[in-house]
Amino acid sequence: MNKLAGVDWSHLVCKSPGFMVHPGMPPGWVVFILLSLFVIIVAAWRNSLLSVQQGPAGRYFAFPAPISKWLTRRVISPWLLVVLRLITASIFLLVIVAGLFGNPIPERNLATELTWTLWWTGLIIAIIFSGSAWCAICPWDAIATWLVRRRLWQRSPETASLNMRVPKILRSVWPALLMFIGLTWLELGFGVTRSPYATAVLALVIVVLTTVSLAMYERKAFCRYFCSVGRTIGFYSELSPVALRPVDSQVCADCKTLECYHGSENIEPCPTHLVMGRITQNTYCTSCGACSQSCPSQNINWQWRHVGSEAIQTARPHWDEGWFILGLVALTSFHGITMLPIWEKWIRHFAEQINDSGQLLWSFSVGMGVILLFPILIFMLLVKINQRLNFRELEFKRLFSSLAIATLPLAFTYHIAHNLTHLFRESRGMLSVFANPLGIGRLPLSSAEMHLRHVQPLIPQNLIYALQAGLIVFGFWLATRILAFRLQGLVERTQRPRFAIQWPILVFITLMSLLNLWLLMQPMMMRMK
């Protein structure tokens, strides 16, 4: 039994699941990233980013007419959405059955392998190509809707919902941010990712919360205010090149009936209280297709746009939304920190200082709180410096919210880069898990299997590094681009040079990018035993 200073560490919640680690990014790629970041900073200093005209960045581009008609008739078809929802709900129920009654070995059980290795990473990557489309087929919402509305898709004249208005104190994304922090605490503190049973219980709790919320409040309050996964998708999809938008903005401007908001005889109203003709950001759009199905002019469809154009120009984050974005930045980096072998040593040392024992939840919680708050406090300090130097007449909350969105690409790109290693290394053998989802009769991974996953990922190792390097550089570039355009609207308020009002937040963007790069350079613990 592993003991240190008389304390039993055998049940350490953040204990490494094994001795195998993923190799860190090699020096050659690190040099490439550092040189790229330097070039981008120099470009920002020379104001080349600020000189880009705003007009084209905000435009939407319709798909060619044949594709547009096909999208309207097929992709946004209610029956296709119903079929996809039935599929995702069936897989979700299988995950619960596998977690509750299947093999407790996480690498042999569908619940843990599908949820944490494949779904969570694949979901974030899919945002690039489909925006917030996952929310349209979310199994939590599908099951809750069928239970409460008692219809597969059409508007139900009878419902079990009380249709109460959400209390004003809850009408923000603070509940979703708190839920995200809580889920992270459970995931990393209690080791939910290592337990099929705990994964299934967590999934059941979330679907119960979704159902209770739908039964109590009007429309879909859980999707708009409480769901941390949905809000994460919503914010990330502000960077996506696709979104549901009006084909002709004038048609929406002339509309008096607003079926997209109120719904129609057979189609539900917008679940998150959006009017499509006035939408400026994808944060709360669930891509459910209700607006496109109810619109009498068939004026709503999938549209192309420039990557990040919404975050650059049209998004107007509020105070709570700014905090959620900074929370994403901090939480994604925190996930990387907890995968470092040194993290366990830090927690052990701290637990020894405060006489914490058992599962070390106090030590973990304090460490998590400090790491999450530190970057947010640094950002707030730099915003305050910027305010004192350049924008004394501008309210701090407004400046904070406006500039926080510039950090969104850092969270998005590192989120993907970090999980690529898990996806391409730890998903080897996934087909055998699908063939035997409950893992009946399966034994733990052998040393040979662990070694094979370690040295032979699904794609070449150098390709993984190339993708990670490209993501870090792209995230940094997009963050500086968003920052430049955001500050361009404030230039007239001060006579200071443009770079003078840009450097405080540019410092934060650089520091977080360097932190994420450093995390990718470190050996990362594998989740498997």
CATH at 250: 3.30.70
Q: Do 75 and 28 have their domain in common?
A: no
Q: Do 191 and 77 have their domain in common?
A: yes
Q: Do 402 and 518 have their domain in common?
A: yes
Residue ending a domain, among 242, 272, 294, is 242
Nearest to 197 by CA among 88, 96, 283: 96
Q: Has residue 440 been placed in a domain?
A: no
Q: Has residue 250 been placed in a domain?
A: yes
Q: Which residues, other chains included, contact 142 with Cβ-Cβ below 8 Å and sequence gap of 6+?
A: 85, 86, 88, 89
Residue ending a domain, among 242, 261, 286, is 242
Residue 276's domain comprises 243-309
Q: Do 272 and 341 have their domain in common?
A: no
Tokens of 373: 């708050």
8 Å CB contact between 136 and 286: yes
Tell me how crowded residue 311 is: count the other CB atoms within 10 A of its CB: 28
Render each residue's pLDDT in the chain as its tens digit; 529 residues. Answer: 333 333 333 333 344 444 567 788 999 999 999 999 999 988 877 764 444 444 444 565 555 555 555 555 555 678 888 999 999 999 999 999 999 999 999 989 999 999 998 999 899 999 998 899 999 999 999 999 999 988 877 787 767 788 899 999 999 999 999 999 999 999 888 889 889 999 999 999 999 999 999 999 998 999 999 999 999 999 999 999 988 888 888 999 999 999 999 988 888 899 999 999 888 889 999 998 889 889 998 888 888 888 998 998 888 889 999 999 999 999 999 999 998 888 888 888 888 888 877 678 888 999 999 999 999 999 999 999 988 887 777 889 989 998 999 999 999 999 999 999 888 888 877 888 999 999 998 888 777 777 777 777 888 889 999 999 999 999 999 999 999 888 876 666 555 656 667 888 999 999 999 999 999 999 887 665 4
Q: Do 68 and 193 have their domain in common?
A: yes
Q: Has residue 82 been placed in a domain?
A: yes
Q: Has residue 482 been placed in a domain?
A: yes
Residue ending a domain, among 208, 242, 276, is 242
Q: Do 291 and 304 have their domain in common?
A: yes
Q: Do 349 and 268 have their domain in common?
A: no
Q: Do 30 and 105 have their domain in common?
A: no
Q: Has residue 176 been placed in a domain?
A: yes
Q: Do 324 and 470 have their domain in common?
A: yes
Q: How many domains does the chain have?
A: 3
Tokens of 76: 């946004």
Tell if the pTM clears 0.75, that is, is over it: yes
Q: Has residue 158 been placed in a domain?
A: no
Q: Do 237 and 247 have their domain in common?
A: no
Q: Do 331 and 451 have their domain in common?
A: yes
Tokens of 188: 């990393």
Please give the Cα distance from 184 to 202 (Å, whole number). Answer: 12
